[in-house]
Amino acid sequence: MYGSSEISQFKDKYDSIVENKIIPMLEKVNDERGLKYRIWGIIISMPISIGIGYLAYLCFCVGDWMNAFFLICPAIIIPGVVSLSLEDYLLKKFELKLKTPILQELLTSIPDFYWQETPVVPEKEIEQILIFPKAKSCEKSFDDNFLGKFKGISFATGVCSYAFYSKHSVPFYFQGVIIKIKMNKRFSGHTVIVPNKRTTSLDLNEGVGYFDYYGDLKKAGLEQVTLEDVAFNHKFTVYSTNQIEARYLLTPSFMEKLKDFKEAYLANEMYCVFYKDYIYIAPNTGVDLFSLFKNPEVLLTDKSKFENLFAQLESIFNLISFFCY
C-alpha cells in the first residue's frame, strides 16, 4: 500500500521497466556469469590439484615429504591467491559495466531522478555534520550515488563505507547509505542521533587509550539530550546544540518513520542528523546494497533485489511527505 498516487504511478512504471527491459537483459548475461564462475573454478583448482598430486608423488615415491611440503605449499597458495584476486577484479569490472545502465534505466521511472558517479555527500560534509565518530580518521570509500526530487523536495542518496581501525580491533565500521533531504525549513540547532554504544578500549593491554563514540560531538559543543522514551534511550543517544528543538523533532511519529527506514534497508543500526536545512539518515546495512554479483548462487533475474531498491526509495518519499506536508 503506497502513501500517494504519485508513488503508485512510479511503482507501476518501475515494475514495467523491470519486467520488460531489465529481466530480458539479465537473462542474456546470466549464463555468461555462470560460465565465468565455472571457468575460474577450474583455473583456481588446477594449481592446487597439480600441487597436491606432486606432493603425493614426492611423499610416496621419493620419500622426501618434508622438503616436498615446503616446496609445494607456495606452488599451491600463490597461484590460488593470484587467481582469486584476478577473479574479484574481473567480476567487479563486469558488474560495473552492467550495473550502471541498469540503474540508469530504472531511475527513468521516477521524474527528476538520476544517477551520478561523484559522491552526493562528500567526506568533508560527513565530517562537518558529525554523523560518524572520528570520520576524519576513518578509512572510507564511496560507490553508487542518486539525486532526485519528490514533491519539489530535493534529496540524494550515496553508498559509502567508513571504518576506524586500531592495531587490534575495529571499534567503528559502517557500510550502507547516506540519505540527504533538503527541508523546507531551517533548523536552528545541530541534532545528532547515533546508536547507543559504550566507550570501547583500544589496545588496552598496551595502554593506548579508548574509542569515544561521542567525543567529536562533545568537542563541537553538542550536549546529550535525554528523552522520556526509555526504549528509545536504550537504543539511541542524542546530542544537540538545541535541547528544545531536539525534543520537538524526535516525536513518536518520526521514530516510527526511522523504524520504517531500518526495515526497508534491512539495517542493523541507524544514524541521523538535523543540520541547517537538511536531514541526513544513514542505515548501516553491512552489505553492498546494489551488488548484482556477490552471490553466484542467486540468479541475476531474481526480482527481489529490485523490489528492495524500490522499497528503499519509497521510504525516502514517505519521510519527505511526513516532514514537508
Domain boundary among 75, 105, 135: 105
- How many domains in the chain? 2
Angle subtended by helix axes 65-107 and 5-17, to nearest 10: 130
Q: Does residue 138 surpass a pLDDT of 80?
A: yes
Are 243 and 166 contained in the same domain?
Answer: yes
Q: Of the candidates 175, 275, 306, 122, which has an alpha carbon nearest to the alpha carbon of residue 314?
A: 306
Q: Is residue 90 part of a domain?
A: yes
CA separation for the pair 249, 211 (Å, rounded): 29
One domain, residues 141 and 279: yes
Q: Both 86 and 136 in a single domain?
A: no
Examine the domain organization and report whether 66 and 198 are in the same domain.
no
* End-of-domain residue from the set 89, 105, 121: 105
The pLDDT of residue 130 is 96
pLDDT at 291 over 80: no
| Same-domain check for residues 93 and 118 | no
Q: Is 191 helix (H, G, I), strand (E, B) or coil?
A: strand
Query: Are 201 and 227 in a shared domain?
Result: yes
Which tens digits make up the pLDDT trace of 228-261?
Answer: 888 888 888 999 999 999 999 998 888 888 888 8
% of the chain exceeding 90 in pLDDT: 32
* Domain residue limits at 101: 5-105
Output the DSSP codes for 276-325. Answer: TTEEEEEEE-SS-TT-SSS-TTS-TT-THHHHHHHHHHHHHHHHHHHHH-
**Is residue 309 included in any domain, yes or no?**
no
Cα 301 from Cα 33, distance rounded (Å) = 12
Summarised one tens digit per residue, pLDDT across range 189-237 is 999 999 987 655 454 444 445 678 888 999 999 999 988 888 888 888 9
Q: What digits encode the pLDDT tens for the residues 302-318?
A: 888 888 888 888 888 88
pLDDT tens-digit readout, 9-18? 889 999 999 9
Q: Is residue 322 part of a domain?
A: no
Could you tell me if residue 295 is inside a domain? no
Can you give the pLDDT at residue 193? 95
97 and 123 inside one domain: no
Q: Is 169 helix (H, G, I), strand (E, B) or coil?
A: coil
- Mean pLDDT of the chain, nearest integer: 79
Task: Determine, yes or no, domain membership for 306.
Answer: no
Q: Looking at the structure, do residues 100 and 170 belong to the same domain, yes or no?
A: no
Q: Residues 127, 10: one domain? A: no
Residues 26 and 99 in one domain: yes
Q: Are residues 154 and 65 in the same domain?
A: no
Q: How confident is the model at residue 279 (pLDDT cuts 50, 70, 90)?
A: very high
Q: Are 127 and 223 within one domain?
A: yes
Strands 236-240 and 191-195: antiparallel
> What are the pLDDT digits (tens) for 79-135?
556 555 555 666 666 666 777 788 888 888 888 888 888 899 999 999 999 999 999
The predicted pLDDT at position 230 comes to 84
Residue 55 belongs to a domain: yes
In percent, the amount of the chain with pLDDT more than 70 equals 69
pLDDT band at 277 (very low <50, low <70, confident <90, very high): very high
What is the band of 2 on the pLDDT scale with cuts at 50, 70, 90?
very low
Mark out the alpha helices in the chain (DSSP H runs).
Answer: 5-17, 23-57, 65-107, 123-129, 215-219, 230-235, 243-249, 252-264, 304-324
* Residue 62 pLDDT greater than 70, yes or no: no
- Give the pLDDT of residue 274: 97
Q: Name the 3-class secondary structure at 256.
A: helix
Confidence category of residue 286, pLDDT binned at 50, 70, 90: confident
- Which residue from 135, 146, 73, 69 is spatially nearest to 313, judged by alpha carbons? 146
Looking at residue 121, its pLDDT comes to 95
